[in-house]
Structure formats: C-alpha cells, structure tokens
Amino acid sequence: MTIKEATSVVPAAGRGGARLLPGLLVAAGAAAVGYLVNHRFGAASPLVVAIVLGIVLTACGGNRPWLQPGLRFAATTLLRIGIVLLGLQLVLADVVDLGVGPILVVMLGVAASFLTTRWAGRRLGLTTDRSLLVATGVAICGASAVAAMNQVGDGEEEDVVTAVAVVTVLGTLSMIALPALGVLFGLDEVLLGLWVGASVHEVGQVVAVGGAVGATALSAAVVVKLFRVLLLAPLVTLVALGRRSGTSTTDGVRRPPLLPWFVVGFVAAALLRTTGWLPTGLVDLGSLAGTVLLAAAMFALGAAVDLRAVARGGRQAMTAGTVGTLVLSGITLAGLTLTT
C-alpha cells in the first residue's frame, strides 16, 4: 500500500495526534540514524540513508498499517516545512560575490542539464513525472530537490526513489571523476572548486570533495552549490505554473496553487538569513531541523516503495541522468574556464 492510498482507509476521526505518533516516532528514529551516518561519513546524505531505511523497513515486512498516518504526515507536511528551512543555508550575498560570469554559466548549465535529461527520459520511455524528478535531481541538488519537485508534480513514491538512486550513484561517481579530471586538465584550486559545486549533485558530496581538495576549493564549491539550491525555487515555480495552466477549471480537478507556499517560505528563509539578523546558533539549529525533517520525509517515501517497480525503470532513468550529468559537467567546465 502506498502512502497516497493509505490516507483513503484511515477514518477521519482517527487522524489525530495519537494516530500520527507511531509513524512519526519511527520516521524520527530513521532521520536520527541518517544524521549520525552523515556526521560520521560526510559524503553520505542523511536523506539517502533515510530513504534506504524506509525501503528496508517495507522489504522486511515492518511497514504496518498503524504507521501509515504518521508516515503520510511526514511525507507531506514535514517535507514542506523542511524545504522552507532549507533556505536558511543560503546567503544571497555570497552568491552575488561569485560574479556575473560564473552565475550565468551555472544557470546555463542547470537549464541545459534539466532540459536534456527530460528529453532523454522521454526518448527512453520514462513517464513524464519520473523524467521530471530525475532532471530536477541532476540539475539542482539531489534528493531534496527531487522531494520538493514532487510536491508540485504527481509522481509516485517509486519515481522519487528512482530519481534519488540515480543522483546518488552519479554524484558518487562524480566525486571520484572530477578531482582526477581536475589534475588531468591542470585546474587550479578555485576553478576546480567552482566546477565541483556546479556539477556534483548532493551537498554532502560537494563538501566532501571540496574539503579533500583544499579550503579554497571547499569555499568556492559550497557557494556555487548553494546557488544551484537557490535555483530550485524558480524551477519549481515554473513547473507549478505549467501544471496549473494545463489543468482545466471545468474538469472537476482542483488546480495547483499559483505559487506553492513552501517555495515562498524557502525564499523568505533565504532572505532572512541574508539580512544577518538571525543569531548563528539559531541558523544552525534551523538548518539541522530542516535536514532532520527532510530525512524523516524521505524515510516515509521510501517505506511506500515497491522495489520491483523501481527496478523496471531504473536503467532508463540512470541513462537519462547520465546524459544530463555529462551536459551539466561539460557546459560548466567550459564556461567557468572562460569566465574565471
């Protein structure tokens, strides 16, 4: 039973806090494990760890009906709050300091990667929603971007897990390939850091690679990566507007909102962080809370997955993601070399 289906069998009278508690406690435990693994192994995204734990729970027969109300709440409400708090990681002034050239290069790379991945996905027979999620994860920021985009799309849990698997594998390969290519091409530390931030998918992976190269590379990589995270807001908004314009008001289906509230909250959080009004401790606490909430949501999504459904479209999704990753890496390397 998927999370979407579960809500139809939970009586309205039983959707109070007490019914939510078991699923939320299990999701919180999985999020804590994901955070601890990430703390020990920086390149391991807590979101990816959590989604794997959710898949394992269901595969082992541990996903009971009484967990469903809490898991559904985690996969919807907690996910959206986590996306809002993700904005606290962004300082817009740092992005501006990159300069016009690198900013335009990254925007071009993201746009080309997104469109190319979607095109490849259609040619390979992926559904519209699965290709959308894979393209978003490759172009923007891995698992968190996939989860955010699915809030305005209509993908199934299997589509989310497939997209997360694709960006995790490709991001891991990029962690190995980019430093080696940087040495081969004779890139200096700053340029290599910029390229890592523009090409590697998960934030944790970017931090791991940048830190291994050097402090200067790490600083450049993180700023560029967070700029890609910032591009999540306009991309989700454009997709939401497209879905809204394609939904008739006479067919009885509720039209999507003009601008999803969690996107507004994400941008507001980034602006608030940029003002410098928030104490460092509060920013750190909010960022941690956002990561934990997103990990709990990914666990809930993973717990609703049928691995056989994921496997059926995995090869095509991986191929489409590889095409998008190569486009992203190629365009950003060429552009950054010319503009820095």
Cα-Cα-Cα-Cα torsion 247, 248, 252, 257, nearest 10 degrees, comes to 50
The ranges assigned to domains in the chain are 19-246+257-339
Secondary structure class of 43 (helix, strand, coil): coil
| Contact (CB, 8 A) for 50 and 299 | yes
What was the pLDDT predicted at 153?
Answer: 79
What was the pLDDT predicted at 16?
Answer: 62
Q: 119-175 pLDDT, tens per residue?
A: 999 999 999 999 999 999 999 988 889 999 998 877 888 899 899 989 988 988 999
Q: 1-39 pLDDT, tens per residue?
A: 445 444 444 444 344 678 999 999 999 999 999 999 988
Cα-Cα-Cα-Cα torsion 102, 106, 107, 111, nearest 10 degrees, comes to 150
DSSP classification of residue 60: T
Residue type, 213: V
What was the pLDDT predicted at 12?
Answer: 40
| Contact (CB, 8 A) for 194 and 219 | no
Residue count of the chain, please give it.
340
What was the pLDDT predicted at 314?
Answer: 84
What was the pLDDT predicted at 249?
Answer: 53
Using 70 as the pLDDT threshold, list the residues of the chain that sit under it: 1-16, 246-258, 306, 309-310, 313
Write the DSSP string, 80-112: HHHHHHHGGG--HHHHHTT-HHHHHHHHHHHHH
Q: What angle do CA 149, 154, 159 make, to 5 degrees?
A: 75
What was the pLDDT predicted at 204?
Answer: 83
Q: Could you tell me the pTM of the whole model?
A: 0.85
